[in-house]
C-alpha cells in the first residue's frame, strides 16, 4: 500500500486524482493539503510512531507531495518511538532544505519503505515541450531563458532557489528562502517599465524522489502582476498543475507559457 505524506498546496489532491487506488494520507500538523482530508495528522515529534503505524497498516511505499516548511521541534512532545530519531532529525534541520529533505527520505528508506516520486503517479504533470499559449516567444525570450537556465544551474550547489526572473539578459530577481511567490510579489514594485520572463527548473542533480518544483495558475497570475511577459519551465523538471487551466490563464493575461527543452 502507498502512503502519501501530503504537504500544502494542490499537488497532493491532483496526485490522488491520478491514482487508481486510494492511498493512506498523512499530513503534518499545520501544513494541510488543499481539497484533501488526511486519514492521519501527525506531528514531527511523533515521526517514529508514524513509521510504526505505517508498518502495521501494511504500507510499503511512501510518496511525499506538497510543501512542508521546516517545522520547529518541541522537545517536550517527542514520544518514545521518535526518541532514537532525534539526533538525525536535529542534523537534518541544521542543513539546507535539500539536505534536510534527503535526511528525511533516508529515515523512511531505512525503516524499509520504498520512496516513490510524485511524478511517477501522474505523468500528465510533466507536459511535453512546447509553447502552450496564443502569445509566442521571441528571440529575446529565448536568450533570456538561456541566461535564466544558466543562473539556476549555477545556483544549484548553493541550495538557494530554483527560479529567477530575467529581462533582456539582466537578472532581476533570484528565488531565496521566502520562495517563488514572495520573489514575484517583490517585483510588483519594480522600478522599470516591466517585461521579462519567470524561469523555473529543478536543481542540478535534484533527487527526483523529492517533489519536483510545481507551477500552476497562481504562478501565471503572480508573473502577470510582476509585469512579466511569460513563464518558462524546464521540460521533465517542473510539474504543471492543470496545464489546460494554466494555458487559459496565460491567454487571458497575455502571457506565454513555455515548457522548454533544456
Q: Which residues bind a second copy (CB under 8 A)?
A: 96, 150-151, 154-155, 157-158, 160-161, 165, 167, 169-174, 176-178, 182, 185-186, 189-192
d(CA 187, CA 225): 8
Quick one: 65 or 155, whose CB is closer to a second copy?
155
CB of 19 to a second copy, least distance (A): 33
What is the DSSP secondary structure assignment for residue 191, as one 8-state letter? S
Long-range (24+ apart) CB contacts under 8 A made by 38-43 are 38/6, 43/77
Quick one: 35 or 182, whose CB is closer to a second copy?
182
d(CA 71, CA 38): 18
d(CA 33, CA 37): 8
Q: For residue 258, what is the enclosing H or E element?
A: strand 256-260
Quick one: 15 or 165, whose CB is closer to a second copy?
165
CB of 164 to a second copy, least distance (A): 8
Quick one: 41 or 174, whose CB is closer to a second copy?
174
Cβ contact 123:244 at 8 Å: no
Cβ neighbour number for residue 153 with a 10 Å cutoff = 14
Quick one: 31 or 42, whose CB is closer to a second copy?
31
CB of 177 to a second copy, least distance (A): 4
Going 29 to 92 to 68 to 101, the CA torsion angle's sign is: negative
CB of 103 to a second copy, least distance (A): 15
CB of 141 to a second copy, least distance (A): 17
Q: Comparing C-alpha atoms, which of 170, 241, 161 is closest to residue 201?
A: 161
Q: Comparing C-alpha atoms, which of 59, 145, 208 is closest to residue 51?
A: 59
Quick one: 135 or 190, whose CB is closer to a second copy?
190
3 state DSSP class of 35: coil
CB of 190 to a second copy, least distance (A): 7
Quick one: 129 or 160, whose CB is closer to a second copy?
160
CB of 18 to a second copy, least distance (A): 32
Amino acid at each position: 500500500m502507498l502512503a502519501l505524506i501530503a504537504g500544502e498546496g494542490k499537488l497532493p489532491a491532483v496526485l490522488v486524482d491520478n491514482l487508481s487506488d486510494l492511498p493512506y494520507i498523512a499530513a503534518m500538523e499545520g501544513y494541510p493539503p488543499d481539497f484533501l482530508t488526511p486519514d492521519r495528522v501527525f506531528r514531527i515529534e511523533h515521526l517514529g510512531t508514524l513509521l510504526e503505524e505505517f508498518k502495521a497498516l501494511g504500507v510499503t511505499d511512501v510518496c511525499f507531495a506538497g510543501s512542508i516548511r521546516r517545522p520547529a521541534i518541541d522537545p517536550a512532545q517527542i514520544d518514545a518511538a521518535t526518541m532514537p530519531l532525534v539526533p538525525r532529525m536535529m542534523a537534518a534541520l541544521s542543513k539546507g532544505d535539500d539536505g534536510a529533505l534527503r535526511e528525511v527520505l533516508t529515515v523512511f528508506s531505512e525503516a524499509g519503505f520504498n520512496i516513490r516520486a510524485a511524478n511517477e503517479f501522474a505523468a500528465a504533470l510533466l507536459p511535453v515541450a512546447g509553447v502552450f499559449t496564443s502569445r509566442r516567444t521571441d528571440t529575446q525570450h529565448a536568450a533570456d531563458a538561456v541566461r535564466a537556465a544558466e543562473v539556476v544551474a549555477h545556483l544549484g550547489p548553493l541550495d538557494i532557489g530554483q527560479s529567477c526572473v530575467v529581462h533582456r539578459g539582466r537578472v532581476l530577481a533570484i528565488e531565496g528562502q521566502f520562495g517563488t511567490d514572495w520573489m514575484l510579489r517583490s517585483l510588483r514594485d519594480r522600478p522599470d517599465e516591466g517585461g521579462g520572463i519567470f524561469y523555473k527548473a529543478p536543481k542540478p542533480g535534484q533527487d527526483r524522489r523529492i517533489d519536483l518544483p510545481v507551477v500552476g495558475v497562481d504562478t501565471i497570475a503572480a508573473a502577470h502582476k510582476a509585469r512579466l511577459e511569460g513563464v518558462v519551465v524546464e521540460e521533465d523538471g517542473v510539474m504543471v498543475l492543470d496545464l489546460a487551466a494554466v494555458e487559459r490563464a496565460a491567454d487571458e493575461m497575455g502571457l506565454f507559457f513555455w515548457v522548454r527543452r533544456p
